[in-house]
């Protein structure tokens, strides 16, 4: 410590000159560090009126999740391909007893709620007989439902919606995790590169000070450091798409160079948090899948009731309006959702081994054309890229002013 104090006392000019590139390196680091943090934070808008900031990813989560949904369903893992890999009989064998537990309640809700007079006319023997037959038919109907999905899969299974809802809103943290894992080394490069680029620009600043000897060169160079350290770092991450020779060496954008590793991280997040077992089951039982399930159960219940009561009571057709369908759907969905955790627990290994979502996505993403692969992470920056760079320049200018105050 005494040595440093003696050095400052004896060679104040030398210390002043050394401090310039060192300070520029600090400016480069701090501006890039803040820029990276602003990509993810804050989760909610922070500021007054329209003046403030919300993390880039939280602010554009819906749009980004839509882009990911498009890439997933169009280029990586198409819904019909997953559908064709699953044997509904295998799933049925594992969960039939769970469905049967709810069969009595489902039949009661459909018949008693929609036609209470008819339900009251049924004897207990007929009710039990009807319930037993429906229980036997439910496994078959699960297969029929699955086959019906295949006829018009894209309109029945709302893949896009389940992907978007898994990566936005209250689940935005998963989207943030995805980008942090996929672009971790790149974000770290942005931060660290600010030190090196800032130091180099600081050496140039030394030249300007020696020539001009003016205080205003420091805030100007601070702006230059803040602007270009961000800009250069972003360029080095995404460009060039393919390896390119620059006189003495070859270079390729850092993110593009890690395509295989990024693909593994991306696939893992999707398989565990987006297209996981529970979400896939919800696709079947909720939304349009739930509509189809209700339609099939109602048709079967109607047919069985006709058969049992053909000589005992006239059957009032169970024609349902949209309001009734919605009500029944919610009732049945609640009963099915109640057993979802156990269903998921039983079939998750089968679905994981059969669908191989993580492996499929990783393999296909690793060979995706470079321009499409680059879009995957670059979409984080594009919306507010210029804002981040300008902010870096502003912070750099402020530090430059403070440096000028100390030096001059």
Distance CA 379, CA 375 (A): 6
How many other CB atoms sit within 10 Å of the CB of residue 307?
A: 10
**What is the per-residue pLDDT for 113?**
67
pLDDT of residue 25 exceeding 90, the answer is no
**What is the per-residue pLDDT for 263?**
92
Distance CA 251, CA 236 (A): 9
Check residues 308 and 362 and name the one with the higher pLDDT.
362
**What is the per-residue pLDDT for 320?**
45
**What is the per-residue pLDDT for 319?**
44
66-121 pLDDT tens trace: 888 888 888 888 877 887 888 888 877 777 777 677 667 766 766 676 667 767 77
CB 301 within 8 A of CB 134: yes
340-399 pLDDT tens trace: 566 666 777 787 788 888 999 999 999 988 888 888 777 766 767 787 788 778 877 877
Residue from 147, 160, 196, 167 nearest 64 by CA: 167
240-284 pLDDT tens trace: 888 888 777 788 888 888 999 999 999 999 988 988 877 777 766
Overall average pLDDT of the 309-317 stretch: 43
In angstroms, how far is CA 307 from the centroid of its own chain? 50
Q: Predicted confidence band at 173 (pLDDT cuts at 50, 70, 90)?
A: very high
CB 91 within 8 A of CB 350: yes
**What is the per-residue pLDDT for 255?**
84
pLDDT of residue 7 exceeding 60, the answer is no
Distance CA 26, CA 195 (A): 6
Counting residues of the chain whose pLDDT is more than 70, the rounded percentage is 70
Check residues 163 and 407 and name the one with the higher pLDDT.
163
Burial of 178 (0-12, 13-18, 19+ CB in 10 A): buried
Q: Predicted confidence band at 197 (pLDDT cuts at 50, 70, 90)?
A: confident
Check residues 67 and 338 and name the one with the higher pLDDT.
67
Overall average pLDDT of the 288-297 stretch: 60
**Length of the chain in residues, anyone?**
408
Distance CA 36, CA 29 (A): 11
Overall average pLDDT of the 114-130 stretch: 73
Distance CA 140, CA 300 (A): 11
The pair of three-digit structure tokens given for residue 80, joined into one six-digit string: 């019909």
Residue from 65, 263, 71 nearest 173 by CA: 65
Overall average pLDDT of the 53-70 stretch: 87
Counting residues of the chain whose pLDDT is more than 90, the rounded percentage is 5
Distance CA 98, CA 101 (A): 5
174-184 pLDDT tens trace: 999 988 998 88
In whole numbers, what is the pLDDT of the chain averaged over residues? 75
Domain residue ranges of the chain, discontinuous segments joined by +: 2-407
The pair of three-digit structure tokens given for residue 161, joined into one six-digit string: 């919606």
CB 190 within 8 A of CB 389: no
Q: Predicted confidence band at 311 (pLDDT cuts at 50, 70, 90)?
A: very low
pLDDT of residue 314 exceeding 50, the answer is no
Distance CA 236, CA 40 (A): 21
């Amino acid at each position: 410590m005494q040595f440093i104090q003696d050095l400052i006392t004896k060679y104040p000019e030398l210390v002043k000159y050394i401090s310039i590139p060192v300070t520029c390196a600090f400016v480069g680091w701090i501006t890039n560090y803040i820029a990276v943090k602003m990509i993810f934070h804050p989760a909610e808008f922070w500021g007054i009126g329209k003046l403030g900031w919300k993390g880039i990813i939280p602010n554009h989560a819906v749009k980004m999740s839509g882009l990911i949904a498009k890439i997933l369903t169009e280029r990586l893992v198409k819904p019909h391909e997953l559908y064709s890999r699953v044997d509904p009989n295998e799933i049925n064998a594992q969960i039939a007893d769970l469905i049967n537990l709810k069969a009595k309640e489902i039949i009661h809700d459909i018949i008693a709620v929609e036609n209470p007079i008819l339900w009251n006319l049924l004897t207990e023997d007929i009710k039990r007989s009807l319930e037993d037959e429906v229980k036997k038919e439910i496994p078959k109907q699960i297969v029929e439902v699955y086959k019906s999905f295949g006829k018009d899969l894209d309109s029945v299974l709302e893949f896009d919606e389940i992907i978007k809802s898994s990566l936005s809103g209250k689940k935005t943290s998963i989207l943030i995790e995805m980008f942090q894992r996929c672009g971790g080394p790149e974000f770290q490069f942005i931060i660290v590169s600010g030190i090196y680029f800032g130091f180099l620009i600081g050496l140039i600043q030394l030249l300007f000070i020696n020539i001009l000897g003016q205080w205003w060169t420091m805030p100007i160079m601070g702006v230059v450091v803040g602007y270009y350290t961000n800009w250069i770092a972003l360029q080095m991450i995404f460009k060039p798409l393919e390896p390119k020779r620059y006189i003495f060496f070859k270079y390729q954008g850092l993110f593009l160079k890690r395509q295989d590793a990024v693909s593994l991280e991306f696939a893992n997040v999707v398989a565990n948090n987006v297209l996981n077992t529970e979400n896939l089951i919800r696709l079947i039982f909720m939304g349009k899948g739930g509509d189809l399930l209700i339609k099939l159960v109602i048709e079967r219940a109607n047919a069985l009731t006709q058969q049992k009561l053909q000589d005992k009571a006239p059957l009032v057709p169970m024609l349902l309006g949209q309001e009734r369908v919605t009500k029944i759907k919610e009732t049945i969905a609640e009963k099915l959702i109640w057993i979802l955790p156990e269903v998921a627990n039983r079939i998750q290994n089968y679905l994981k081994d059969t669908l191989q979502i993580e492996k499929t996505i990783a393999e296909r993403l690793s060979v995706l054309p470079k321009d499409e692969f680059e879009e995957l992470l670059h979409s984080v920056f594009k919306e507010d890229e210029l804002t981040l760079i300008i902010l870096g320049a502003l912070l750099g200018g402020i530090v430059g002013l403070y440096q000028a105050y100390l030096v001059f």
